[in-house]
Structure 1
Amino acid sequence: MARQARQIERSFPRLSPLADVAVQGRFGADKGTAGVTLSVRHPLSIATVIARKGKGKTLADALAALKGATVLWAGPDQYFVQAEGRGEGALAAELTATLQGVASVSEQSHGRVVIRVEGPRSRAVLAKGTPVDLHASEFPLGKSALTQMAHVGVHITRVSEDGFDLLVFRGFSESFWEWLCEQSEEFGYLVR
């Protein structure tokens, strides 16, 4: 199954829904170094994993032992699992086989987009759209939250000192990207 998925991926590479919008360059206020850097994490394999009734602890233990993937909290007994360098559907197939009888797994790679927001002004930009306290003392490295920004449901995770990953539905990604760029203009922003 994984071999077949790699062959499909080579034949039909995943295209980012933001490929035409996330144009690389420096934008906004021109006051030296950009305060914010925006990038699209693509291609990225994403799966939703939800524990079956009474299997929450078993699932949490199984995901804690998972290698080569990042596990993010997404609600009670629910997780997003992300991995780079996997073929089309390979992550979901691996998780389905590993977690059989413990959890339900749903492929999300085409349905979700991850935008990384980094830089010394990243918190200021994100604070314009969410009531979540993103200060390091309240939102430590690795913490995730579900919130709304610009009327879009967002799963936010702190990934570095001044870096956050925002997981949004593909259908909202373009308008959300435009909102994010507008909010970053006053600080100057770089798109990678």
Structure 2
Amino acid sequence: MHKLKPITPLGGHAAHVDQIGTLTIIEVVDQALASLAARNGQREVLQKALPLRLPDVGKSTSDGDFTVFWIGPDQWMVSAAHDAHELLAAELKQMVGAAASVTEQTDGWCRFDVSGAAHCGLFERLSSVPIRAMQPGEVQRGLIEHLGAFIWRIEGDRMAVLAPRSAAASLHQTLVAAARSIS
């Protein structure tokens, strides 16, 4: 019998943490992800079926166990603690029925949280997203070097970056190099 063990996007058995000057870069591995897309004309039905508020363009909301951010017209990414919601996509599909399409996204993305006083300088070196103008809860899709990513201001000096899992090592190397360049 095979004894399979899950690995993180960076290939480890535990989340990777880097402390560089005042910046901390954390590989986030404890969140389940699912995308949610309202079917044509079903947004109101979808909203009524969910125990959470769907955010507007470029925003995120947190309600109970769930955090949701906007990813496109009538499309959202839903996040919840993996231990409590391992089957997040199935849970959501049961709630919304035919009002939306739901797809599992957990292993398709990597997430790094960046925090510290110099976080704006780091992101200004890597992206044209106006980091200093972003308010807590705002999310923008942009490029970090050559890579499409969601850049999300969680709170004051804490940002999250979500990108395709296949690019986790490249994104991590980019974040670390930028952090070292400003420390």
For normalisation by structure 2, the TM-score amounts to 0.83
Of 176, 182, 185, which aligns to 2:171?
Answer: 176
User: Secondary structure at 1:14's aligned position in 2?
Assistant: coil
Which residue of 1 is the match for residue 136 of structure 2?
141
Note if contact 1:130-1:147 (Cα within 8 Å) is conserved in structure 2: yes
Which residue of 2 is the match for residue 43 of structure 1?
30
Please report how far the alpha carbon of residue 57 of structure 1 lies from its aligned counterpart in structure 2 after TM superposition: 3.4
Runs (5+) with no aligned partner, structure 2 = 55-62
Runs (5+) with no aligned partner, structure 1 = 1-10, 28-33
Note if contact 2:28-2:112 (Cα within 8 Å) is conserved in structure 1: yes
Note if contact 1:145-1:157 (Cα within 8 Å) is conserved in structure 2: yes
Question: 2:77 & 2:45 partners in 1: Cα distance?
Answer: 16
User: Secondary structure at 1:42's aligned position in 2?
Assistant: coil
- Does residue 1:70 correspond to 2:30, yes or no? no
Of 39, 45, 63, which aligns to 1:52?
Answer: 39
User: Secondary structure at 2:9's aligned position in 1?
Assistant: coil
Task: Give 1:12-51 correspondences, 5 Å limit.
Answer: 14-20=6-12, 23-24=16-17, 26-27=19-20, 34-51=21-38
- Aligned-CA RMSD value: 2.3
Letter in 2 for 1:140: Q
User: Secondary structure at 2:143's aligned position in 1?
Assistant: strand
CA distances 1:71-92 after superposition (whole Å, capped 9, x unpaired): 1111111111001143675111
Identity of aligned residues (%): 25
Which residue of 2 is the match for residue 110 of structure 1?
107
Question: 1:23 & 1:155 partners in 2: Cα distance?
Answer: 20
Letter in 2 for 1:93: A
- Does residue 1:86 correspond to 2:83, yes or no? yes
Please report how far the alpha carbon of residue 15 of structure 1 lies from its aligned counterpart in structure 2 after TM superposition: 1.9
User: Secondary structure at 2:129's aligned position in 1?
Assistant: coil
CA distances 1:29-55 after superposition (whole Å, capped 9, x unpaired): xxxxx2211001112100111110112
